[in-house]
Amino acid sequence: MSLLLVAFSILVLFIITLIFLKCRRPSNFPPGPPALPIVGSSLLVGSRPAVRMHEWKEKYGDIFGWYNGRQRVVVISDFHVLKKLFSEDAASGRIIRRLVRTESTLPLNIGLVGSEGELWKIHRRFALSTLRDLGMGKNWLEDVIIGEVESMCAIFRAQKGAPINPSVLVTNTISNVICAMIFGKRFELTDPKFSRITSLISANLAVHKLDFLAQTFPFLMWFPNYVSKKIAMARQNVKDLRAFMSEMIREHDASPDPNAECPDYLFAYRRERAQTTNPDVKETFTEMQLIGSLFDLFAAGSEATTTTLLWAMVHLIENPDVMRTAQAEIDERVGKQKVITSSDRVLLPYIEGVIMEAQRCGNTSPLGVPHRSLEEIKVGGYTIPENTILVANTASIHYDTRYWKDPQRFDPSRYLKDGALLVRPEALLPLGVGKRLCLAEPLVRMELFLFIANLLRCFTLELPEGKTLSSNDYVSSLVNCPNPFELIFTPRF
Ligand code: HEM
Q: Please tell me the distance from the alpha carbon of residue 209 to that of residue 175, in angstroms, as a whole number.
A: 25
Instruction: State the pLDDT at residue 20.
Output: 55
In a domain, 26, yes or no: no
CB of 170 closer than 6 angstroms to any ligand 1 atom: no
Question: pLDDT grade, residue 486 (50/70/90)?
Answer: very high
Instruction: State the pLDDT at residue 386.
Output: 95
Residue 245 predicted with pLDDT over 60: yes
- pTM to 2 decimal places: 0.93
Instruction: State the pLDDT at residue 481.
Output: 96
ipTM score: 0.98
Half-sphere exposure of 96 (CA within 13 A, CB side): 6
In a domain, 311, yes or no: yes
Residue 207 predicted with pLDDT over 60: yes
**DSSP one-letter string for 287-342:** HHHHHHHHHHHHHHHHHHHHHHHHHHHHHHHH-HHHHHHHHHHHHHHT-SSSPP-G
Residue 429 predicted with pLDDT over 80: yes
Residue 366 predicted with pLDDT over 80: yes
In a domain, 27, yes or no: no
Residue 383 predicted with pLDDT over 80: yes
Q: Work out how many domains the chain is built from and give that number.
A: 1
CA of 140 to the centre of ligand 1 (A): 22
In a domain, 103, yes or no: yes
CATH number at residue 179: 1.10.630.10
Residue nearest to atom 18 of ligand 1 (CA): 438
Q: Average pLDDT for residues 421-450, to the nearest whole number?
A: 95
In a domain, 11, yes or no: no
Among residues 368, 278, 358, the alpha carbon closest in space to that of 310 is found at 358
CB of 92 closer than 6 angstroms to any ligand 1 atom: no
Residue 102 predicted with pLDDT over 80: no
Instruction: Output Rg (C-alpha) for the chain, integer angstroms.
Output: 24
Residue span of the structural domain in which 422 resides: 40-491
CA of 466 to the centre of ligand 1 (A): 37
CB of 397 closer than 6 angstroms to any ligand 1 atom: no
CA of 298 to the centre of ligand 1 (A): 11
Amino acid in the structure at residue 41: S
Question: pLDDT grade, residue 2 (50/70/90)?
Answer: confident
In a domain, 24, yes or no: no
DSSP-based helix, strand, coil % in the chain, nearest 5? 55, 10, 35
CB of 391 closer than 6 angstroms to any ligand 1 atom: no
Residue 257 predicted with pLDDT over 70: no
Amino acid in the structure at residue 368: G
In a domain, 20, yes or no: no
Residue nearest to atom 16 of ligand 1 (CA): 432
In a domain, 12, yes or no: no
CB of 54 closer than 6 angstroms to any ligand 1 atom: no
Q: Average pLDDT for residues 333-350, to the nearest whole number?
A: 96
